[in-house]
Structure 1
Amino acid sequence: MPTIRPATAADLPRLHTVVERAYRGDSARRGWTHEADMLFDARTDLDTLVTLIDGDSRILIALDGDTILGCVNIASRGNGLAYLGLLCVDPELQARGIGKQLIAAAESTARETFAATRVEMTVIDRRIELIAWYERHGYARTGETRPFPVAVDPPLTMAVLARPLPR
């Protein structure tokens, strides 16, 4: 079972590599949660990751010893709402329950650190299999959609999923 803890600035260079490997390029195709067939740019950068580890945001990392297996970001949006994003597991290690453990840790952090009572996320609406996975883990489509955060051609739309946090 992996250890899950908040990421520090020292973790971010190694974490960045895992995030890119999980979301983009040929390495991502080894797993099932990638965006490599829709998006070709970098998923994120170190400067962005730095903004996600302080204040009302945390990146939680799953570790086996010193090896980063995956991560999740949980951030307070105020009024009892937390946002879950950047969930990824190294493509070679997917389908072993690590993602489920990261979600549980993120939800616990949302409750305990941010006093959240519900969590929302956005998922590219074409990612039917990924949305179904989140639905199996208690999330439901809200009916709301949002534009993809950066302009791409063809345009992408994000489905909003949410769940109340159990007490």
Structure 2
Amino acid sequence: MPVAIRPATHSDLSLLHPMIERAYRGDTARMGWTHEADLLSDTRTERAELEAIVADPSQILLMAQDADDTPIGCVNVAKRDASLAYLGMLCIEPLRQAHGLGREMIAAAERYARDTFGCTTIEMTVLEQRSELIAYYQRRGYAQTGERRDFPVPLDPPYFMTVLAKPLSGPLESNHA
């Protein structure tokens, strides 16, 4: 089934926002393998956060949609400085996971960071409890930097994020699992 990847617009957010929530939280998320539903139960992303990303020229929200124009995935790329981009909010509709779309979204994000933002390195953070997700990114060329960051929401006990990074020089290819 053909998939298009393009920048999300404000008019896409009414369908994209619920897809993001389904991918990260609740029982629907458990149908996929990349969810946080067993660790967190709050809302993953507020609509206002997505509106701000779409309006910010130093960020982009790339959206994957199927042949029916239904959002089935997204990834956020933010330019942090002249050489560093941040990859976040990568999610795929739970029933569409494990078919290569995540690799496509990562590759699109990396190309955008390199070719549009001019960055030479891209980084991400992953909940350190998600060792299988960290391993997935390592198979795609990301390496743990040794840095650990606080989870953005204070919890008891606290969660921490593992920082992974990848150089963006040369042709970018998606690796196979």
Give 1:25's aligned residue. 26
d(CA) in 1 for partners of 2:48, 2:8: 14
How far does residue 112 in structure 1 lie from its aligned partner after superposition?
A: 1.4
2:8 matched to 1:4? no
Q: Which residue of 2 aligns with 1:136?
A: 139
Q: Which amino acid aligns with 1:29?
A: R
Query: Aligned partners of 1:51, 1:166: CA distance in 2, in Å?
Result: 29
Matching residue of 1:97: 100
Structure 1 residues 151-160 or 115-124, which shifts more?
151-160
CA distance in 1, matches of 2:40, 2:155: 8
Measured after TM superposition, the shift of residue 38 of structure 1 is: 0.6
How far is 1:18 from its partner?
0.5
* Counterpart position of 1:37: 38
> What residue ranges of structure 1 are gaps of 5+ in the alignment?
none
The aligned residue for residue 60 of structure 1 is 62
> 1:153: how far off?
2.2
Q: For 1:112 and 1:80, how far apart are their aligned partners in 2?
A: 12
RMSD after superposition: 0.8
Cα offsets for 1:51-78 (capped at 9, x unmatched)? 1123100000011121111000001001
List alignment gaps of at least 5 residues for structure 2. Answer: 171-177
Indicate the structure with greater strand content: 1
Q: One-letter code of the match for 1:155?
A: P
User: Could you tell me which residue of structure 2 aligns to residue 110 of structure 1?
Assistant: 113
Taking only the aligned residue pairs, the percentage that are identical comes to 56
Which consecutive aligned stretches of 4+ in structure 1 deviate over 4 angstroms post-superposition?
Answer: none
| TM-superposed deviation, 1:154 | 1.9
Instruction: Give per-residue Cα distances to partners, 1:79-120, cap 9 Å, x unaligned.
Output: 310000000000000001001000010011101111000000
Give the Cα separation in 1 of the matches to 2:51 and 2:40: 23
Give, in whole Å, the separation in 2 of the partners of 1:50 and 1:101. Answer: 24
For residue 86 of structure 1, the aligned residue among 89, 97, 103 is: 89
Whole-angstrom CA distance in 1 between matches of 2:156 and 2:7: 35
In structure 2, C-alpha distance between the alignment counterparts of 1:89 and 1:45, rounded to whole Å = 18
Distance in 2 between the 1:26 and 1:155 partners? 23
CA distance in 2, matches of 1:74, 1:156: 23
